[in-house]
Amino acid sequence: MPDRYPLFLHDLSFGLHAECLYFPDCFNQDDFLMNPEKLELLITREMPFGKYKGRIIADLPGQYLNWFAREGFPHGELGGLLALMQEIDHNGLSELLEPLRAKHGKPAPRH
């Protein structure tokens, strides 16, 4: 793992778990599976700044997430959540969050 967090996550050497560079504890004790609690944060955590301040991360528009992917994600937990959501959105997997949305009473926005 690099000495500092990368600005971009699109580095093939990091593979599918690139978001773990932002979440040092994202692997479980077996050091293999991603922590599902990070997915719940996508449904409950709000964007703290910018044009979409106050919107939950799972509801951020794809073009906004893609802008971060091009320009660089913030460091820390927020950057990891944005990177994770961008990967989910980019790969058309947003529907996988529906059970978590139902659990937390956060329906998907209508487009």
C-alpha span between 110 and 106 (Å, rounded): 12
pLDDT of 110 reads: 73
pLDDT of 12 reads: 41
Cα 97 to Cα 13, 72, 89: the distances in Å are 27, 24, 10
pLDDT of 92 reads: 93
Report angle CA 3, 7, 49 to the nearest 5 degrees.
Answer: 120
Domain ranges across the chain: 33-104
C-alpha span between 111 and 97 (Å, rounded): 16
Report angle CA 94, 99, 54 to the nearest 5 degrees.
Answer: 65
Per-residue pLDDT of the chain (111 residues; tens, 9 = 90+): 444 444 444 444 444 444 455 555 554 444 444 578 889 999 999 999 999 999 999 999 999 999 999 999 998 999 999 999 999 999 999 998 999 999 988 888 776
pLDDT of 106 reads: 82
- pTM for the whole structure: 0.70
pLDDT of 108 reads: 80
